[in-house]
Amino acid sequence: MQTLGISDSTPRTESRLKSLFWPSIQTGSDVDYLGAQGYWVCTVVSVLSFVFLVVSGQPISGIFVLLFYYLGGVGVRERSRYAATVVLLAYVGDTLETGLGVLRVLIGALLLSNLRATWIASRWKPASEEAILPPRLSETWADKLADRLPMWLWPKVRIAYYVFSVCFLVVLALGLAIILRRRG
């Protein structure tokens, strides 16, 4: 794979920490890397939220939250600005409901970075050879999960996700309104 030029070892144009919190795009490999990074951030958020909700005795809510964030990550991987935006909005709304914490602020910063990266990547169209997106691999389980699955799944669930996410955000907003009304 290395000799064909399609391996994951394409040098990054910036450090991993900078790409997490303030990504930029120089090449097609950067576009692909940031999409995969956004997918993994949303996947981790979905799993952590699911586990937390199941442990706190809310498994049905956990399933909806898992689907919301995971499918949002699939949309982020496919450069959907809408998916990146609603994931960030939902996370901010949930943070307002549950309160701030160091981990929440860190994850919120990562989701904001995802939105920025997705916005930049969705408009990436330079006409140079460096702009060509690398092929999506399927050698390992992680490659199949982050590269192949979103490419196959997003066209099939995109419209349903739009409807689901609007309903999810409405329920979240109603919950936030009820909490604020009780406090006031």
Quote the CA–CA distance of 57 and 77 in Å, as a whole number: 31
Quote the CA–CA distance of 20 and 6 in Å, as a whole number: 23
Determine contact, residues 151/136, Cβ cutoff 8 Å.
yes
Residue 167 token pair: 């309903």
CA–chain centroid gap for 42, Å, is: 4
Q: Would you state the pLDDT for residue 13?
A: 55
Q: What is the pTM of this model?
A: 0.81
Q: Would you state the pLDDT for residue 28?
A: 73
Positions in the chain short of pLDDT 50 = 1-9
Q: Would you state the pLDDT for residue 18?
A: 66
Determine contact, residues 95/108, Cβ cutoff 8 Å.
yes
Quote the CA–CA distance of 85 and 105 in Å, as a whole number: 17
